[in-house]
Amino acid sequence: MQPPLKIALAGLGTVGAGVAQLITQNKDIITRRAGREIQITAVSARDKNKNRGVDLSSYRWMDDLSAMASDDDVDVVVELIGGSDGPALTLARESLSHGKNFVTANKAMVAHHGDELATKAEKNGLAIKYEAAVAGGIPVIKGLRDGASANRIERVYGILNGTCNFILSAMEKDGRDFAEVLADAQANGYAEADPSFDIGGVDAAHKLSILASLCFGTKVDFGAVSIGGIEQIKAADIEQAAAMGYRIRLLGLAEIDGDNGGSALFQRVHPYLVRKTHPLAHVTGPTNAVVAEGDFSGRLLFQGAGAGDKPTASAVVADIIDIARGETGPMFGMEQKHLEQLPKAESGHRMGKVYLRFIAADRPGVLAEITAATRDAGLSIESLIQQEANADGTALVSMVTHDGPESAVAETLRLLSGSENLINDPMVMHILR
Amino acid sequence: MQPPLKIALAGLGTVGAGVAQLITQNKDIITRRAGREIQITAVSARDKNKNRGVDLSSYRWMDDLSAMASDDDVDVVVELIGGSDGPALTLARESLSHGKNFVTANKAMVAHHGDELATKAEKNGLAIKYEAAVAGGIPVIKGLRDGASANRIERVYGILNGTCNFILSAMEKDGRDFAEVLADAQANGYAEADPSFDIGGVDAAHKLSILASLCFGTKVDFGAVSIGGIEQIKAADIEQAAAMGYRIRLLGLAEIDGDNGGSALFQRVHPYLVRKTHPLAHVTGPTNAVVAEGDFSGRLLFQGAGAGDKPTASAVVADIIDIARGETGPMFGMEQKHLEQLPKAESGHRMGKVYLRFIAADRPGVLAEITAATRDAGLSIESLIQQEANADGTALVSMVTHDGPESAVAETLRLLSGSENLINDPMVMHILR
């Protein structure tokens, strides 16, 4: 058997502690699968004395991350610090410079600096692995990078943020409004004290930009993701969507757009209406799910726990085992020079159905104004529901359109902007085709 | 860039033709992902002149498979002939003997001879890959072998046969009986003229034995799978199951049984009742889905097309790309010497609920006889439905039991065997917990 693979853990939060626990607890099966022992030879975190529920006293403690990156007794540096820049990024750069393979769970860093890090790893003949950065414990990076590698992927989309899905399915189940469910989720540890990255869609966008690169052979382009969140969704939206046969999910969706002359990369995180017959409509709670549509594979679905210390540790250690086995190809499935840099796709010419919801004053002429605007914008209505007015004198009008270009939706909103009949901005959600 | 990887295709049925088409059609993206060109340098099949819908005239034709296995212009032999023994097995042995890497879609051969072939590949430092052998286009071998590698898998189960799932979901949808739907499926190409391997559960058992090896680090043991099929399922069973909140699926299920003193390997293919809230209840048509429950990952679900020329080709070519990348570890995720050989688990002590269905003569005392038998066997009934008698004077009695040992179910059947009140053997289905 080969000599042990020596790893250093930087960051000992719940995931870091989970990784240490997993390596210890499943030592026998991990050694058999890796073909060699996985040995933790150094650990580091901000606070040496914090109780982490795992005994780390036998590991060598390092206060200096730069020293860790160049330590002779380390083959693989495992970064579980987080943050797109700062110490995590410095550690990545220094580890790769000093000939260490690198494993990370850091979606923000990969989304922002994947190109730089992949180039550096490639130049130095090193592996950089990030299974845990997308969809927690689900092996979707390996599934797409290795499992779907023969395919031209036509579209990739999924539920990439467990907090949002937890909130949406709780709203669905109990008919409660967003703010109330969020407060509950925070109280129960399903949402962060500052949940803006989750509910605003940024976290899902980080992951989407990584998936898009893997699926399409393009450079990671986080800056080109259109991002929307779930803050504006009301219990009434969920109810209306259900009445029309849909459920609401925050999806990240990416595809290559060849319709507008030349190829462009379309990436969007936004709440979508998903038909109840679609598998994603049945994904509830903090679960994640990713769908990739390959030209030969057809529709592939990967589903599982999107977060949590144990599932994330499972993904991190799988990456370490890959390295132990010598399975260490290019970060995004091909050499960096083969990745294309595509422009951001415009959305105006995209065809689709949308859900539009207005909160309007309950007075004559409101429906006439809305329907005149859709007519003038060339947007055709498939179904429309106006609810009985609320006690506060407002009424909710929701509609689903026929297939039409997104430019017509934008034009409808433009025509209605400044309308005295409308309270708040209208809510637009796309319908997954 | 490295020199091309030269492959030989043995077997040019729909899958073989699909592989040739895929390698040609997606040449650019495959070359970028493989880091080198994939070149077909030889092909072979029984009939050279058959029209396969793909132009194969530019490839070198070989009539002699032994010559293919030792050809200097071949790096990888791709076997798409099928059959557990015969020419496929000879080709596998000869290819590995002559230093060729080997890719196969042949579940029967891997189930029966996986141990021998893996040992031979390992001794010669070669890869043997078989992603297409299980669940068609779904990358479940890579997902489990590489993605879940850090986990002690507690249980693996899934819908492993598309024909059966197609038939069961058609019965579910239309309320028709098995024989009628099967005839339709045969007419439409969803079932073979001789469907016995599919509907009898043998095909699913081949796949289950492979999954079990990967998940548990045990030797493939097809002979130890308990196998049942779907032939006895009636429209009335599906209706009764639905009334109690279940759908019926043919599942393969394997787990390590540590309850009976020492570890043993439990493997069963059988129709199961699956709660409507479970993701597998929503898998319809010829789709496959595999669930693995890891101690750290939690429940992972992989879903997609279980058969068909294009999805299967997608899996075959992904294996070829793995080899081109040099990602070529042991066949079952660890060296053969590390795989355990566990005894077959007994089932009598297994606890669970079952669905029992009797077709009885419509006369007084039938229910008393059945319920006396369950009482005497120590089997406790959770719910029971007796339908109105049919025109032929028979009545259907179905029940779901409380949790109990399977030995009590067997005892119930023993007590009722030879009963003059019962027509046909009773039908037993387990309920997925």
| Per-residue pLDDT reduced to its tens digit, A174-220 | 999 999 999 988 988 888 888 999 999 999 999 999 999 999 999 99
**CB of A294 closer than 8 Å to CB of A301:** no
Q: Using the predicted structure, report yes or no on whether residue A120 has a pLDDT greater than 90.
A: yes
Same domain, B216 and B67: no
Q: Would B28 be classed as within a structural domain?
A: yes
Q: Is A413 exposed, middle or buried (0-12, 13-18, 19+ CB in 10 A)?
A: middle
Coil/strand/helix, residue B163: helix
Q: Using the predicted structure, report yes or no on whether residue A45 has a pLDDT greater than 80.
A: yes
Same domain, A128 and A197: no
What pLDDT does A20 receive? 96
**CB of A41 closer than 8 Å to CB of A73:** yes
What pLDDT does B387 receive? 83
Q: Would B15 be classed as within a structural domain?
A: yes
B138: which chain A residues are within 8 Å (Cβ-Cβ)?
Answer: 147, 297, 300
Same domain, A156 and A239: yes
Bridge partners (DSSP) of residue B256 are B265
**CB of B392 closer than 8 Å to CB of B427:** no
Q: Using the predicted structure, report yes or no on whether residue A262 has a pLDDT greater than 80.
A: no
> Helix B86-97 to helix B107-123 angle, to the nearest 10 degrees?
20
List the single range of A56-65, A144-153, B117-126 with lowest mean pLDDT.
Answer: A56-65
**CB of B385 closer than 8 Å to CB of B240:** yes
Same domain, B171 and B276: yes
Give the containing element (helix H, strand E) for B170: helix B162-174
Please give the residue of chain A at the shortest CA–CA distance from B217.
A29
> Quick one: which of A2, A222, A277 has its CA closest to A110?
A222
CATH code, domain carrying B179 = 3.30.360.10
Q: List the single residue in B143, B298, B338 with the smallest CB-CB distance to A305.
A: B298
What pLDDT does B390 receive? 86
What pLDDT does A190 receive? 81
A138: which chain B residues are within 8 Å (Cβ-Cβ)?
Answer: 147, 297, 300
Coil/strand/helix, residue B136: coil
User: Cα(B414)–Cα(A102) distance, rounded to whole angstroms?
Assistant: 61
Last residue of a domain, one of B134, B157, B178: B134
**CB of B347 closer than 8 Å to CB of B266:** yes
Same domain, B179 and B215: yes
Same domain, B54 and B111: yes
Q: Using the predicted structure, report yes or no on whether residue A326 has a pLDDT greater than 80.
A: yes
Q: Would A315 be classed as within a structural domain?
A: no
Last residue of a domain, one of B287, B306, B325: B306
Catalytic member of A120, A207, A219, A353: A207
CB pairs under 8 A between A and B: 208
Angstrom distances, CA of residue A184 to CA of A188, A192, B74? 6, 11, 62
Same domain, B33 and B166: no
Amino acid at B223: G
Same domain, A175 and A146: yes
Same domain, A274 and A301: yes
Q: Using the predicted structure, report yes or no on whether residue A259 has a pLDDT greater than 80.
A: no
Has B353 been labeled as part of a binding site? no
Residues of chain B with pLDDT under 50: none
- How many residues can be counted in chain A? 433
Q: Which residues in chain B (333-362) have CB-CB distances under 8 A to chain A?
A: 333-335, 338
**CB of B197 closer than 8 Å to CB of B307:** no
> Helix B162-174 to helix B235-243 angle, to the nearest 10 degrees?
70
Q: Is A387 exposed, middle or buried (0-12, 13-18, 19+ CB in 10 A)?
A: middle
Q: Would A319 be classed as within a structural domain?
A: no
Report yes or no: B105 at the A interface, CB cutoff 8 Å: no
The complex scores an ipTM of 0.96
Residue-by-residue DSSP string for A58-85: TSPB-S-HHHHHT-TT-SEEEE----SS
Last residue of a domain, one of B134, B169, B193: B134
**CB of B183 closer than 8 Å to CB of B106:** no
Cα A119 to chain centroid distance, Å, stands at 23
Coil/strand/helix, residue B270: strand
Tokens of B8: 């030989």
Same domain, A120 and A152: no
Please give the residue of chain B at the shortest CA–CA distance from A214.
B33
Confirm whether B207 is a catalytic residue: yes
Tokens of B349: 């002590």
- Does B152 sit within 8 Å of A26, measured CB to CB? yes
User: Cα(B308)–Cα(B120) distance, rounded to whole angstroms?
Assistant: 30
- Residue in A33, A129, A299 to test binding to B, most B beta-carbons within 10 Å: A33
**CB of B430 closer than 8 Å to CB of B400:** no
> Quick one: which of A166, A253, A154 has its CA closest to A207?
A253
Tokens of B145: 């072998």
What pLDDT does A156 receive? 98
**CB of B316 closer than 8 Å to CB of B128:** no
CATH code, domain carrying A381 = 3.30.70.260
Q: What is the DSSP letter of A147?
A: I
Tokens of B263: 């570890």
- Does A335 sit within 8 Å of B35, measured CB to CB? yes
Report yes or no: B304 at the A interface, CB cutoff 8 Å: yes
Q: Would A73 be classed as within a structural domain?
A: yes
- Residue in B33, B38, B214, B274 to test binding to A, most A beta-carbons within 10 Å: B33
User: Cα(A155)–Cα(A258) distance, rounded to whole angstroms?
Assistant: 12
User: Cα(B333)–Cα(B424) distance, rounded to whole angstroms?
Assistant: 45
CATH code, domain carrying B115 = 3.40.50.720
Report yes or no: B166 at the A interface, CB cutoff 8 Å: no
Tokens of B416: 């009722």
**CB of A176 closer than 8 Å to CB of A170:** yes
Q: How many CA within 13 A on the CB side of residue A206?
A: 24
Q: Per the structure, how many domains does chain A have?
A: 3
Coil/strand/helix, residue B265: strand
Give the structural domain span for B120. Answer: 5-134
Q: What is the DSSP letter of A340?
A: B
Q: Would A358 be classed as within a structural domain?
A: yes
Same domain, B104 and B165: no
What pLDDT does B393 receive? 87
B304: which chain A residues are within 8 Å (Cβ-Cβ)?
Answer: 297-301
**CB of B172 closer than 8 Å to CB of B158:** no
Tokens of B210: 């492979």
Handedness of CA A120, A122, A125, A129 (dihedral sign): positive
Q: Would A163 be classed as within a structural domain?
A: yes
User: Cα(A415)–Cα(B103) distance, rounded to whole angstroms?
Assistant: 60
Angstrom distances, CA of residue A387 to CA of A168, A361, A384, A397? 22, 12, 10, 7
Report yes or no: A323 at the B interface, CB cutoff 8 Å: no
Residue-by-residue DSSP string for B196-227: HHHHTSHHHHHHHHHHHHHHHTB---GGG-EE
User: Cα(A165)–Cα(A304) distance, rounded to whole angstroms?
Assistant: 13
- Residue in B296, B319, B320, B323 to test binding to A, most A beta-carbons within 10 Å: B296
Report yes or no: B285 at the A interface, CB cutoff 8 Å: no
Q: Nearest 5 degrees, angle CA A397-CA A398-CA A403? A: 140
Amino acid at A65: L
Q: Taking residues A77-90, what's their average pLDDT?
A: 97
Q: Nearest 5 degrees, angle CA B33-CA B36-CA B41? A: 120
Bridge partners (DSSP) of residue B391 are none
Same domain, B275 and B261: yes
- Does B308 sit within 8 Å of A26, measured CB to CB? no
Q: Would B344 be classed as within a structural domain?
A: no
